[in-house]
């Protein structure tokens, strides 16, 4: 299945049905009169987040969505049937944006969320509702209120607990293949990864979701390389794992390039917990690994984990640190008097 994380669609809610113009003509009833019923309400446009979807590819081929209009009223004061709501199923993590992409109109972060986006138009009034003491036989009726319509953008932001960032060929795909069930493409050339990858990490009876995005290069925020489009997929992550290639000419400079691009993108990415790992450490001797690690630690201000996604060296220590960062700390429950009751996770 092809991956698509943006799509533009047209949506229109249903128009209300027209009211009826009708008069009673019944045997044994001396005086007739108006008895036209109201029209039915138009269908709503509803978005629903469903599990099992991780792409917007279906919206590339179906771009127009129109809810059913309401039925017209009838005699004997019968109200027309309402139009059926149109439910549009989207992946969890989808945002509905305005046509100019400036405003987030809806945001779905949980499976099963269901929200009305556009309400259908109300039905028109039948001629019975126009009857008055001075207008005993009205012939006017309402035509029904029109529904709303708009072009909107769907933008998918994958939901993951941790995100992988780094320059191209930093070994992100090898790492995610080693620790998850993902089957990311691995190659000895830049931009082997062209779309985000998700995998589930199972470590020491714990589970969390790890996301790998295409590598960043200098100027990505301005569109260089694949650009920063896919950074949106790690906006919701609690922690970032920054992989730096130990075989690179200057690991500290490589670290700063990626951090600069994260800062240029914004969205609070530089405020997230960051774990720094010097990858491909199996290709260096211990002395050089320690020297590069110290240099990278000075540049990042954080502890540096020497690892190897290919051999598994140091991977367990990094996964332990990721779990610590992802899971909320335990806090004391106290009664009103401040007495400790028990430990429990929040």
Find the helix packing angle between 172-179 and 315-326, rounded to 10°.
80
Which are the contacts of 56, defined by CB distance < 8 A and separation ≥ 6? Answer: 4, 5, 6, 7, 90, 91, 94, 154, 156
d(CA 22, CA 140): 10
> CA 191 → CA 173, 196, 226, 280, distances in Å?
11, 12, 8, 18
At residue 176, what are phi and psi to the nearest 5 degrees? -65, -35
167 is in an annotated binding site: yes
Query: Annotated binding residue at 110?
Result: no
Q: Is 13 annotated as a binding residue?
A: no
Distance from C-alpha of 236 to C-alpha of 342, rounded to nearest angstrom: 31
Residue 169, marked binder: yes
23 token code pair:
């008069």
> Is 280 marked as a binding-site residue?
yes
How many whole angstroms separate alpha carbon 19 and alpha carbon 337? 66
The CB-side HSE value for 271 (13 A sphere, CA atoms) comes to 6
127 in a labelled binding site: no
193 is in an annotated binding site: yes
Q: Can you read off the two tokens belonging to residue 206? A: 């714990």
Tell whether residue 81 is among the known ligand binding residues: no
173 is in an annotated binding site: yes
Q: N- to C-terminal Cα distance for the chain?
A: 38
Say if residue 181 carries a ligand binding annotation. Answer: no
Answer yes or no: is 309 a known binding residue: yes
SS3 call for 36: coil
Contacts of 160 by beta carbon, 8 Å cutoff, 6+ apart: 198, 209, 210, 211, 233, 234, 236, 237
| 94 known member of a binding site | no
Q: Is 77 within any annotated ligand binding site?
A: no
Measured distance CA(136)–CA(131) in Å, rounded: 6
**Contact criterion met (CB below 8 Å) for 193 and 216:** no
Contact (Cβ atoms closer than 8 angstroms) between residue 67 and residue 26: no
Number of residues in the chain: 346
User: Do the annotations mark residue 215 as ligand-binding?
Assistant: yes
Annotated binding site: 166-173, 193, 212-215, 279-282, 308-310
Annotated binding site for GTP: 166-173, 212-215, 279-282, 308-310
Annotated binding site for Mg(2+): 173, 193
């Amino acid at each position: 299945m092809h991956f698509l994380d943006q799509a533009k669609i047209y949506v229109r809610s249903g128009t209300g049905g027209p009211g009826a113009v009708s008069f009673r003509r019944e045997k044994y009833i001396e005086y007739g009169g108006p008895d036209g019923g109201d029209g039915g309400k138009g269908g709503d446009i509803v978005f629903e987040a469903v599990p099992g979807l991780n792409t917007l590819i279906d919206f590339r081929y179906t771009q127009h969505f129109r809810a059913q209009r309401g039925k017209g009223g009838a005699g004997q004061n019968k109200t027309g049937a309402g139009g059926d709501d149109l439910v549009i199923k989207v992946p969890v993590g989808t945002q509905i944006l305005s046509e100019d992409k400036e405003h987030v109109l809806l945001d779905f972060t949980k499976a099963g969320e269901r929200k009305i986006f556009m309400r259908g138009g109300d039905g028109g009034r039948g001629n019975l509702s126009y009857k008055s003491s001075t207008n005993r036989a009205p012939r006017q009726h309402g035509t029904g209120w029109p529904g709303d319509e708009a072009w909107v953008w769907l933008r998918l932001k994958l939901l993951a607990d941790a995100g992988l960032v780094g320059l191209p060929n930093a070994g992100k795909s090898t790492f995610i293949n080693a620790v998850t069930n993902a089957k990311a493409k691995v190659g000895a050339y830049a931009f082997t990864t062209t779309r985000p990858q998700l995998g589930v990490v199972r470590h020491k009876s714990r589970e969390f979701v790890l996301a790998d995005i295409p590598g960043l290069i200098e100027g990505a925020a301005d569109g260089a390389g694949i650009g920063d489009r896919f950074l949106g997929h790690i906006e919701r992550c609690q922690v970032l794992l920054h992989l730096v290639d130990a075989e690179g000419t200057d690991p500290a400079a490589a670290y700063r390039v990626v951090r600069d691009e994260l800062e240029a993108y914004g969205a609070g990415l530089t405020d997230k917990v960051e774990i720094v790992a010097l990858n491909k450490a199996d290709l260096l001797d211990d002395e050089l690994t320690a020297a590069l690690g110290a240099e990278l630690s000075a540049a990042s201000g954080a502890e540096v984990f020497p690892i190897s996604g290919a051999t598994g060296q140091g991977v367990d220590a990094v996964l332990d640190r990721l779990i610590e960062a992802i899971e909320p700390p335990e806090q004391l429950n106290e009664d009103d008097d401040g007495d400790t009751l028990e430990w429990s996770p929040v």
